[in-house]
A and B are shown apart, each in its own frame.
Chain A
Amino acid sequence: MKPILNHHKPKRIRPDQVRVGRFFSLQQGRVGQFLSPRVLLVRKPFQHQVVERCYFGFDSLYQAWKFTEKIAHNGCYFRLDRSRVMPQRYEIEIFNPGEIARLLAFWDRHEAHSTPSDTSINVSIVA
């Protein structure tokens, strides 16, 4: 994936640019990694104290807003805004997300991989 070349703020990433698992530069010492199509983890690895931020993407403002209720309940610091980085329309930025990012990404990937045949009940009748 090509690095984003804006020095001041990163460009919004297009959906076709999302490569889950790959590291890429976000400039200013920041390294990004999509853990799932809707979860982006951003680190500043070359600082004394590793700074982590996480971006969650939402296409609907209502869904993003409902999600903020849960993360507020968990005591996380966050920011909800129109997307600056994520390919979805809205993004929630969480500061020092800890294990939350990995947990949500795991279930997001799980959902993405589950095909309709996984979720439906297959019934076979033996004559």
Chain B
Amino acid sequence: MRFILNQYPAAIAQAAQAVNEIDHRINDTKHHLAKMDGNAEMVVAFDVTLKNDNQRKARRFEVLQANLEYEKATKTLNRLTTDRANAMAMLEQLRNEFHVGKLEAQTAMADKLVGTDLHEMVGLSA
């Protein structure tokens, strides 16, 4: 779908806003994941029976796996990353279309001016 040239600034701003919204949600999700990671680290640190790093890693994995929210947040982050890539593609497309539209308008204006000059040269203009 192509817009009229003067509609592009608003459409570009809206697309940029959509990217910002997705960025905000990505940051929220990352923060939530970091919190759950921190909690898992705390569980590992609290367990005094763990003897070595392998056991600690296994326990950390177990704690995260038992947390349904962690899996949900991971999936959300993946989906949001894809959404952001799509939103960025849309934004770039709008910017490029706007740029092409401006070039087309400039070309049309130049053609018109050249045409006028030619008409003057051959004495067709009024």
Binding site for B on A (CB under 8 A): 38, 56, 58-60, 63, 66-67, 69-71, 73-74, 99-100, 103-104, 107-108, 111
**Chain B residues with CB under 8 A of A58:** 48
Q: Interface residues of B toward A: which range? A: 10 to 19
Q: Is the CB of A70 within 8 A of B47?
A: no
How far does the alpha carbon of A104 sit from the alpha carbon of B46 in the complex, in Å?
7
Most buried by A among B38, B45, B46: B46
**Chain B residues with CB under 8 A of A59:** 48
* B interface majority secondary structure: helix
Tell me whether B54 is interfacial, beta carbon within 8 Å: no
Q: Is the CB of B63 within 8 A of A70?
A: no
Binding site for A on B (CB under 8 A): 38-39, 41-43, 45-49, 63
How far does the alpha carbon of A90 sit from the alpha carbon of B55 in the complex, in Å?
24
How far does the alpha carbon of A63 sit from the alpha carbon of B45 in the complex, in Å?
8
Q: Is the CB of B46 within 8 A of A107?
A: yes
The 8 A-B residue pairs with the shortest CB-CB distance, nearest first, are: A70-B45, A70-B42, A67-B45, A107-B43, A104-B46, A63-B48, A74-B38, A70-B41
